[in-house]
Each structure stands twice: as C-alpha cells, then as structure tokens.
Amino acid sequence: MKTNYSSWSILLLSVGLTFGQLSAQEAVKGEIRNTQFHTAYTPSFQNDGTDAPIKNVILMIGDGMGLAHLSAGMYSNHGQLTITSLKTCGLVRTQSANNFITDSAASGTAYATGQKTNNGTIGLDTIGNALINMPEKLDKIGYISGIVTTDNLDGATPAAFFAHQQNRNMGKEIWKDISQSKLTFFAAGSKELFKKQPQSTQKAIEKQFTILNTPDIKILKQSKKAGYLPEQSKTASINKNRGNFLPATTQMAIDYLNDKQAKGFFLMVEGARIDKSAHDNDFQAVVREVLDFDQAVEAAIRFAEKDGHTLVIITADHETGALSLGNGNMDTGNLKGTFVSKGHSPIMVPLFVYGPQSHYFSGVQENNDIHNKIYQLLSKSKNSN
C-alpha cells in the first residue's frame, strides 16, 4: 500500500499523547542538532510490487526501532530517509509467546523461524524443542544465507538465525553453535570476543569458515564460507566513532553472497545499537544510529533495484524506550525527544518493503508472519524454476 501520511501522523501523535501523561520524574528528555546529513535514495520502483519471482531476500532489522525512532531520523535528516522513500509499508506486532512485551531473543526467533517463543529463548519453541531457522530451511532448497550485525555474534537477534539455546545469555554455547550452522557468511563483533572462546570452539569455527579481521576482498572471494570479526571498536556505539562498518559490510555481504552463484541468498542485517542507545535514553545516539542504518538500507535498495529479483524488508524486533517526539526543525536538523522507559514497549513497529511481491507485506501482521511469507515466496520461486 502507498504511505498514508495522515494515518501515520495520527498514530504517532496518539503515541506521544499517551506517554506525555506520565510524570516528569519518569521522563528523560533529549535533543539533537544533526550536522551529518545524507541524501536519501529514491529508487525507480520499476520492479517494485511486480509478480516477478524472488531470488534473494534481505531482511533488515533496526533493533528497538519504533515509529518515533524512525521519524526522528527522518526529521533530523531534512525530512527524508531512504527507508521512508519506499511505497509499500505496514506495521508489525511483536508480542512473544509468554509476554505482552517481547525481548530480542523471542522476536528474533520469530523472524528467524516463523514461530513465537518465550522471552530469553534462542531458536527453541516454548517447551525447548529446536526450531528450524531460515538458513537451515533454505539450505535444503539450494539457497545460501548470511548475517551482518553491529552487535556481538552471540547477541540475541543474530544468534536466532543460527543458534538453539535455552537462554540468550549462554554466550559460549551460542558461539559454539556457529560452526554447526548453515550460514555461508557472518559479520559481527568481535575479534577479541572470538579469542576468549575455548580453543575447541575456535578450531571448530575456523574449520568451517575463513575468519577475517579486516575486510580483505581477495581472500573473501576465495573463501567457500567466511566470517568477518573485526576489532571491537568497529562494531561499538556510533558515539565511539564506529565509522561506516554497517553500510560497508552490508555491501560486502551482498557482493560476496551474490558472487556465489547459488540459487539465491538470504541476508539478515541488524542495526543493533539503535536499541542499546534507546536503553540508555541517549536521544542523539538513537538518531545517529537510525541514520547509519538508513545508509545500510540504501546499499540493499540499490542492489535490489539493479538485480530486479531481490526483495528488501526493513522492520524492527520491538520498540525501545517508549519514545515520543517534541518540537523540531527539518531545515536545521533540530529535534527534541522524550523517553519514558529504559526498557522495551509493546508499540507496533514499522515495516517497509521494496521489490517484487512487496505487496504481500502491507498491513498489520505478526513478526513471525514475516518469516513465513519470506519462506513461502522463496520456496515458490524454487519450485517454479
């Protein structure tokens, strides 16, 4: 569906009014004057919404990115983002199997497996049985998969796409799971964390993946499977001058997977530190993280437009901080925001889609519906060839 700006405005206003009623002691106010503008990319839409078969899917998750977070990025960037230039949009409900307010583990598992589970659980159902994740499903029908994140590799969202553990805090067990995964590529934090794992885990991972600590394209192209684990500073908060890790690595992952000449590929890209900044009620960092994520989205949209058979889906796992927006100026990049929580909220999250078959994702849906629609489209494409 085309964006109905009046409806979005009414919904955002209602969110702001609801949280505006809370006491001043509970609210944390922030403001930004953005000076790092980037030009939003608007695609041609030539292949958008067509019935052409899907070869590749790029799922982009802005961790913690609610409607207000996305709007904050847009308003502070002269009122434009690549994300909000897209025509097909919807909303996603994020509740977990056992809680009205989800965590990243449960919501990540819903996106990764198509089934809801309990908070804190990675890749398992509500009674502890392993769920088949997207890379595992797609491997059986000839597709390859990858993940890119600004979180550590054992972070809840990326882990949901390769691990099966009862608790998201089981870091050593999650790292161990990567060697048994069906991933062809991963990029995450970090070199230092990898070296802290048991020698048996390190050797098992290195047996399956060529591990790079710098983006050596020559070695990458020669690798059957690859993992990029840079220094911690490369995936740290944008407040610590992370640089362009997320946009650059998103492009690297797309190029690497596309060059494999497989049936097609699935890539999950996570802007993890939108969430972490919102947990800290750091409004400036939230906006800057959204802007960084938007530039990674641009890399995916440009590829999809050129390729013609790639579907790009941009959403979030949940909202963090119960953020509302105040006064601002789109010309100068000034904007005020107010958090009334340091945790997650049940507010629906935005969904934007570009590419063939994009119309299947409009409207309001559950987070696990996204997985099921992706798999249905890719398995349909396989069977039609």
The pLDDT of residue 26 is 77
Percent helix, strand and coil across the chain, each to the nearest 5:
40, 20, 35
The pLDDT of residue 13 is 38
- Write the burial class of residue 306 (CB in 10 Å: 0-12 exposed, 13-18 middle, 19+ buried): exposed
The pLDDT of residue 380 is 83
Torsion angle (degrees, nearest 10) of CA 282, 287, 289, 295: 180
CATH 3.40.720.10 assigned to 30-40+47-350+364-384: yes
The pLDDT of residue 285 is 98
The pLDDT of residue 14 is 37
Catalytic one among 104, 324, 341, 345?
A: 104
Mode of pairing for the β-strands spanning 319-320 and 144-152: unpaired
pLDDT along the chain (385 residues), means of 10: 38 40 70 96 96 96 98 98 98 98 98 98 98 98 98 98 98 98 98 98 98 95 97 95 96 97 94 98 98 98 97 98 97 97 97 97 97 95 58
Look up 345 and say whether it is catalytic. Answer: no
**Token match 């890119």: residue?**
148
**What are 147-203's pLDDT values in tens digits?**
999 999 999 999 999 999 999 999 999 999 999 999 999 999 999 999 999 999 999
Q: H-helix or E-strand containing 302?
A: helix 283-307
119-146 burial: b if 16+ Cβ within 10 Å, else e: bbbbbbbeeeeebbbbbbbbbeeebbbb
Q: What is the DSSP letter of 353?
A: E
The pLDDT of residue 382 is 59
Q: Which residues pair with 25 in a beta bridge?
A: none
- pTM over cut 0.85: yes
